[in-house]
Amino acid sequence: TDLVGKPAPDFYAHPEQRKKLKHALQKQGHVYNWELELVRPNGEHFWVMFSASTINYDGEVALIASYVDITELNIAQAQLLQSAKMAALGEMSAGVAHEINNPIGFISSNLKVAGDYVNDLRELIPDTDQNRELLDDFTDLIGESSDGARRIASIVSDLKTFSSIDQADYTQCDVNELLSSAIHLLQTEYGHDLAIIEKPGKLPGISGHPSRLSQTFYNLLDNAAQALKSREQGAESGRILVRTSVEKDGIQVVIQDNGCGIADSIRERIFDAFFTSRPVGSGTGLGLTVARDTVRAHRGTIQIDSREGTGTRATLFLPIS
Given this model, what pLDDT does residue 102 score?
77
Tell if the pTM clears 0.85, that is, is over it. Answer: no
Phi–psi pair at 301, nearest 5 degrees: -135, 155
Given this model, what pLDDT does residue 166 score?
46
178: how many CB neighbours lie within 10 A of its CB? 24
Per-residue pLDDT of the chain (321 residues; tens, 9 = 90+): 777 888 888 889 888 888 999 899 999 999 999 999 998 887 888 999 999 999 999 999 888 999 999 988 888 887 777 666 666 666 676 677 667 877 888 888 888 888 888 888 888 888 888 888 888 888 888 888 888 887 777 666 655 555 554 445 678 889 999 998 888 888 877 776 677 888 777 888 888 888 788 888 988 998 888 888 876 555 567 889 999 999 888 999 999 998 888 777 666 666 665 556 555 444 555 667 778 888 888 889 999 888 888 889 999 999 987
